Amino acid sequence: MIRHLLSAADLDADTATLILDTAAEMATVAGREVKKLPALRGRTVVNLFYEDSTRTRISFEAAAKRLSADVINFSAKGSSVAKGESLKDTALTLQAMGADAVVVRHPASGAPHRLADWVDGSVVNAGDGTHEHPTQALLDAYTMRSRLGRLAGLSVAIVGDVLHSRVARSNVLLLSTLGAKVTLVGPPTLIPVDIPAALAPGTQVSYDLDAVLPDADVVMMLRVQRERMGDSYFPSAREYARRYGLDAPRMRRLAEHAIVMHPGPMNRGMEISPEVADSPRSTIVEQVTNGVSVRMAVLYLLLGGK
């Protein structure tokens, strides 16, 4: 087993499948009388969050607690970081406290990789800049596999701001490892031209959502980050919604079995309309539930052994 989870590219098909299989066993714990396992008793997991995040931090916290680990939450706001402490000094502090794993979210791409050089424990990337978010990709793969029964050969459309999306990057890497066919869809300004070559050779690019929908098994809508809207990547929010938003008429173009995913938080009415978000095709709530199981599997596989 790997020591850190920094990138979805760290996972070969066997390791990724092991994580998904382990997550399936972890999921059964949620239905039990005692929703706790003793596997990580006495281990310390630090959540080191330099960016605001509700669902990812809570998800990691729930996962660690269900495995009986001790959880320390460290957010940059109101901490020594606000007083100017560097990432390295914070890392050494955590090291001195005996953290067995550090779950890190950071606005700078590559911060978790640097951190991995400074601490003895395992580092889990919980999102770094516009780079990667591997556990999100794992929970997305888990959700697809549990809804559609397989990953190999699935046709997955990832729609929206691919340029700034760490979710998209990790998904392209993981899904291609697991044999799914990925098509990136969005306005040309938001899809890097060299992305198939840089990430996974089989990746397709399309600028026409309507053309992609009929053949897709999975449509993954990315959040349009509000802070990007003023940067003239597209003329207006309304035009974006018209061309790349998933609404009810577009949803009807999908195959019977196709599912709609969103990593959250959603902009209802922007990239996804409320009818779609609340439809039975939508897996948005399941993704949150599955996130806890997948993160339990990751923490167990990183920390459970010697």
Partner 1 sequence: MAYPQAAQPPVPSGTADQVAQPPSVKVILTSADVQRVVDRIAHQILEKTQGAADTVLLGIPTRGAPLARRLADRINAFETVDVPVGVLDITLYRDDLRRHATRKVGPTQVPPGGIDGKRIVLVDDVLFSGRTIRAALDALSDLGRPSSVQLAVLVDRGHRQLPIRADYVGKNIPTALSENVRVTLAETDGLDEVRLFGGINQ
How many residues bind to partner 1 according to rule CB under 8 A? Answer: 19
**Smallest gap, in angstroms, from Cβ of residue 32 to partner 1?**
6
**Smallest gap, in angstroms, from Cβ of residue 41 to partner 1?**
9
| Residue (5 or 272) nearer to partner 1, CB | 5
Q: What does the alpha-carbon distance between residue 13 and residue 19 come to, in Å, rounded to a whole number?
A: 10
What are the residues whose beta carbons fall under 8 Å from the beta carbon of 61, sequence distance 6 or more? Answer: 47, 71, 73
Q: Is 24 exposed, middle or buried (0-12, 13-18, 19+ CB in 10 A)?
A: middle
Q: Would the annotation count 181 as a binding residue?
A: no
Q: Would the annotation count 56 as a binding residue?
A: yes
When binding is defined by CB under 8 A, the residue of 14, 32, 117, 256 that contacts partner 1 is: 32
Q: What does the alpha-carbon distance between residue 167 and residue 184 come to, in Å, rounded to a whole number?
A: 12
When binding is defined by CB under 8 A, the residue of 9, 18, 108, 205 that contacts partner 1 is: 18
Number of other CB atoms surrounding residue 208 within 10 Å:
10
* Residue among 221, 217, 147 at smallest CA distance from 184: 221
When binding is defined by CB under 8 A, the residue of 7, 22, 90, 170 that contacts partner 1 is: 22
Binding of partner 1 by 290 (CB under 8 A): no
Stretch that binds partner 1, among 19-27, 104-112, 199-207, 286-294 (CB under 8 A): 19-27
Binding of partner 1 by 37 (CB under 8 A): yes
Binding of partner 1 by 175 (CB under 8 A): no
Contact 163, 130 (CB under 8 A): yes
Pull the structure tokens for residue 259.
């599912």
Beta bridge partners of 205: 184
Binding of partner 1 by 305 (CB under 8 A): yes
When binding is defined by CB under 8 A, the residue of 77, 83, 252, 306 that contacts partner 1 is: 306
Q: Would the annotation count 225 as a binding residue?
A: no
Order of strands, sheet of 44-49, starting from the edge strand that comes earlier in the sequence: 70-75, 44-49, 101-106, 122-128
Binding of partner 1 by 142 (CB under 8 A): no
Q: What does the alpha-carbon distance between residue 25 and residue 39 come to, in Å, rounded to a whole number?
A: 13
Q: Would the annotation count 55 as a binding residue?
A: yes
Contact 303, 122 (CB under 8 A): yes
Annotated binding site for carbamoyl phosphate: 55-56, 105, 133, 136, 264-265
Give residues in contact with partner 1 (CB under 8 A).
1, 18, 22, 25-26, 28, 32-34, 36-39, 300-302, 304-306
